[in-house]
Amino acid sequence: MFFFKLISYFPISILYLLTDFLFLIAYYVLGYRKKVVTENIAFAFPEKSEKERTKIQKKFYRNLTDSFAETLKLLTLPKEEINKRYACENLHLITGPISEGKIIVGYQAHFFNWEGHVLTMSTYLEGLCEVVYLKLNTPFFDRFMRALRGRFGATLTERNQFVKQFIAQKNRPRLIALAADQRPQFSEIRYWSKFMHRDAAFFEGGEKLAKRFNCQVIYGEVGKIKRGHYRFTYHVLANPPYDGEPTNSITEKYIKAIEKNIQDFPDLYLWSHNRWKEKKPV
């Protein structure tokens, strides 16, 4: 941890020199998960030419390797600099209801730079931000990510403990941040729908809790201004009361929001994740 923290004090321009080299290795030499990335982009954009899809792919690898430098830098980047590099629009949609004593369910997705997104929200909300995360298999990197995400007072809740933790603190106003586009495990409640032209499973837990406890649901749209500078724009996905709404209405709105975000910034989505590996049961 000390070593990574020491590196994070380097200027971001120096760290980008390293990621420029990593890009060449990952894309041209190792071809890191290139088969998965190529297939995912091809399915997602059947209307685009091979040249256009290759352009998205190259920019994706640039963003992927740059995210290593940007994540390291977040270990020591001052709060004021974080707020300059990671701008938030429509923040009042979150801070307003929380100041009135309400719980907001915040849906985000695996776009670059999601770690910057988490820390930015933490700088504004401090102890009123709860991040639901998937525990990493490697203990060192799990501790690393917990230290990073909790730097400004965010509460970290392991995914398997989320429901129990939510019910125990159902009266505490806060933002609950969910990266709900992760592929659910076999043992978890899931909902199947079309996502970028293919069947994909989604978590149902966030929607069920939002409807049960009448929570407003927000989506954080991700955009990139330039290298190292991002913009997060918040939109209301759903408002209570939810009486009479279809069972998976919020999840369907969430899927549509991600798809629009991907169309606007296709190289920011995590195409190396084998999101569609599991096939829908017959």
Q: Express each pLDDT in 141-165 by its tens digit.
A: 888 888 899 999 999 999 888 888 8
Of the listed ranges 16-20, 158-162, 262-266, the least confidently predicted one is 158-162
Residue 126 confidence (pLDDT) above 90: no
Q: What's the rounded mean pLDDT across residues 114-127? A: 92
pLDDT band at 25 (very low <50, low <70, confident <90, very high): very high
Residue 92 confidence (pLDDT) above 80: yes
Residue 219 confidence (pLDDT) above 70: yes
Q: What's the rounded mean pLDDT across residues 40-50? A: 97
Note the pLDDT of residue 213: 94
pLDDT band at 189 (very low <50, low <70, confident <90, very high): low
pLDDT band at 26 (very low <50, low <70, confident <90, very high): very high
Note the pLDDT of residue 188: 67
Two structure tokens written together for 263:
């169309």
For 235-256, how does the pLDDT look when each residue is reduced to its tens digit (9 = 90+)?
Answer: 999 999 999 899 999 999 999 9
Classify the C-alpha dihedral 64-70-72-75 as positive or negative: negative
Note the pLDDT of residue 226: 97
Average pLDDT across the chain, whole number: 93
Q: How far apart are the first and last CA of the chain?
A: 46
Two structure tokens written together for 277:
């590996």
**Residue linked to tokens 């000390």:** 2
Q: What angle do CA 146, 98, 207 make, to 5 degrees?
A: 70
Q: With beta carbons less than 8 A apart as the criterion, state whether 128 and 98 touch.
A: yes
Two structure tokens written together for 135:
């525990």
Note the pLDDT of residue 55: 98
* Cut 0.85: pTM above it: yes
Q: Which sequence spans correspond to the domains of the chain?
A: 83-268
The angle, 0 to 180 degrees and rounded to 10, between the axes of the packed helices 92-99 and 114-125 is 40
Note the pLDDT of residue 183: 80
Residue 78 confidence (pLDDT) above 80: yes
Task: Read off the amino acid at residue 49.
Answer: S
Note the pLDDT of residue 186: 66
